[in-house]
Amino acid sequence: MCYAIPGVVHSFEGNHVIIDYYGQQKKAINELTDLAVGDYVYAQGGFVIQKVSPLEATETLNAWKDIFFELQDTDETLAKMPVHNSENPRLLKIIDRAQNKIQLKDEDYLYLAELSDEKDYNLLFKSANFIRQKYQQNSCCVHGIIEISNCCSRNCHYCGLTVDNDSLERYCMTRDEIVAAAEEAIFKYGFRALVLQSGENCGYSISELADIIKEIKQKFPVLIFVSFGEMIFDELQLLYNAGARGILLRFETSNPELYEKLHPGYNLATRIEVIENANKIGFLILTGGLIGLPDQQPIDIINDMRLAKKLNTEMYSFGPFIPHPDTPLAGKQIVNPIAILKAISMIRLLDQENGKILVTTGLETIAPGVRKDALLAGANSVMLNVTPLKYRELYSIYPNRAHVSESIEYQIDETINLLKDIGRAPTDLSVNQ
Ligand code: 5AD
């Protein structure tokens, strides 16, 4: 779990600690050497990231106490399953099986993906929300992302950062700019988990990236995810040793032929190996794919969901393909946002207890305001863009990205208000936000 309210160390189990939050106990990996029973800590993504003074901890806990339980009540109320009067026996049977944790078959998922009656797919969304609440309660991860460079050596056919796009002005944040952006996100805005992202071979060597991560980790308490594209085992290990504990790398599609068509000269097996290596090293895995790619079949998306689960993903990141005018896929069709909401719900049925599901910026781009619907359809994670404003527009993986010109303050206000409204605890932001 990723509560950023302090918990108290209850006991130790090997390299894990049991942390108590208002009577609820969670387990986290501890890498601090001076931790004892009774200490207050912040944990994030399953890692203890900081010890806090009893004074700070008790003040924060007192400030949170009432709201913590109020939010839980609101969430529980909203997540109740309706007494459904659906006349669709096949749908009811599938939902019933999912709620009883019976594995669904491909044909079941295909059926769900193709639901066209609004009443039917709304029932799917509600069932997914019910399952989300049942197993994961009301915590909602709020991570920040800093896009450190838009330079890229790859030629992905869908992506505006492709090396073949000559019309894009390129940038590479300096080391000082990256550290300053991280500091601002952590100390000014209260983020405790940050993704650092760039195109592949963005201009920094792996050892330079490792040094930047080391500096951030030495200075600030934060869980760092890296998202710099593919790299070999030793490079991943270097970033892990520097202090990164998560990796965001989508496999994009689980269909090897489609993968090779979209990424000439590259192959899916290599990409999967990178994710598997990262998992072996101990990184938290964030992965997923694109939905609505040209020539993609419904079964491909089911396979994508299953592959993400097989890769031991901590957080599922599935978003729509959005055509970029300066790429070979310019002018192609955009998928209906309902298809993405259905995918979110189906992932929730597939990975009920552990998987966090991200509401992607891509989805918000094709359907402004959809974040609430996604959170009520099984999702429980959002990522806010904390890249300095002057660079954000240049990170144009697809056009008109949602939130591209919104200040961090504005994004946080909107997010907190929405989460409060639907009873979710913004557990990755410090509580004074
Ligand atoms: N539409 C949607 N998502 C895209 N990405 C890149 N280009 C596009 C696009 N045109 C996504 C990829 C990549 C992530 C950083 O951005 O899935 O993994």
How confident is the model over 84-107, as pLDDT tens digits?
A: 667 899 999 999 999 999 999 999
Across 191-223, b (16+ Cβ under 10 Å) vs e yields bbbbbbbbbbbbbbebeebbebbebbbeebbbb
Q: How many CA atoms lie within 13 A of 158 on its CB side?
A: 25
d(CA 99, CA 94): 9
d(CA 194, CA 179): 12
Helices (H), 248-296: 256-262, 268-281
| Residue 1 confidence (pLDDT) above 90 | no
Cβ(348) – ligand 1 distance below 6 Å = no
Cβ(259) – ligand 1 distance below 6 Å = no
- pLDDT above 70 coverage of the chain, percent: 97
Cα of 73 vs centre of ligand 1, distance in Å, is 36
> What is the number of the ligand 1 atom nearest to the C-alpha of 197?
15
Single out the residue of 45, 129, 115 nearest to residue 86, CA to CA: 115
Mutation test of ligand 1: which of 148, 290, 313, 395 has the most ligand atoms closer than 8 Å to its C-beta? 290
Cα of 322 vs centre of ligand 1, distance in Å, is 8
pLDDT at 176: 98
pLDDT at 84: 66
What H or E segment, with its residue span, contains residue 319? strand 319-320
d(CA 204, CA 193): 22
Contact of 149 with 198, CB cutoff 8 Å: yes
Cβ(228) – ligand 1 distance below 6 Å = no
Cα of 321 vs centre of ligand 1, distance in Å, is 7
Cβ(271) – ligand 1 distance below 6 Å = no
Cβ(319) – ligand 1 distance below 6 Å = yes
Distances in Å between the Cα of 184 and the Cα atoms of 149, 187, 192, 226 are 18, 5, 11, 18
- pLDDT above 90 coverage of the chain, percent: 86
| Residue 45 confidence (pLDDT) above 90 | no
> What's the mean per-residue pLDDT of the chain?
94
Q: What is the mean pLDDT of residues 288-304?
A: 98
**DSSP single-letter state for residue 334:** P
Question: At 61, which amino acid appears?
Answer: L
d(CA 75, CA 338): 23
d(CA 26, CA 9): 10
Give the least confident one: 7-16, 61-70, 335-344, 408-417. Answer: 61-70
Cβ(290) – ligand 1 distance below 6 Å = yes
pLDDT at 26: 85
Single out the residue of 316, 429, 335, 292 nearest to residue 379, CA to CA: 316
Q: What is the mean pLDDT of residues 317-321?
A: 98
Cβ(154) – ligand 1 distance below 6 Å = no
pLDDT band of residue 2 (cuts 50, 70, 90) is very low
d(CA 51, CA 192): 13
> What is the number of the ligand 1 atom nearest to the C-alpha of 329?
10
Cα of 252 vs centre of ligand 1, distance in Å, is 8
pLDDT band of residue 60 (cuts 50, 70, 90) is confident
Q: How many CB atoms lie within 10 A of CB 330?
A: 12
Cβ(158) – ligand 1 distance below 6 Å = yes
Give the least confident one: 197-211, 246-260, 317-331, 418-432. Answer: 418-432
d(CA 53, CA 40): 7
β 24-29/16-21 pair status = antiparallel
> What is the number of the ligand 1 atom nearest to the C-alpha of 320?
2
Cα of 325 vs centre of ligand 1, distance in Å, is 14
| Residue 430 confidence (pLDDT) above 90 | no
| Residue 68 confidence (pLDDT) above 70 | yes
What DSSP string runs through 190-251? Answer: -B-EEEEEE-TT-SS-HHHHHHHHHHHHHHS--EEEEE-----HHHHHHHHHHT--EEE---
Cβ(429) – ligand 1 distance below 6 Å = no
Cβ(252) – ligand 1 distance below 6 Å = yes
pLDDT at 5: 81
Structure tokens at 110: 């295909």
With residues binned 3-state (H G I as helix, E B as strand, rest as coil), the percentages for the chain, rounded to 5, are 40, 20, 40
Contact of 346 with 113, CB cutoff 8 Å: yes
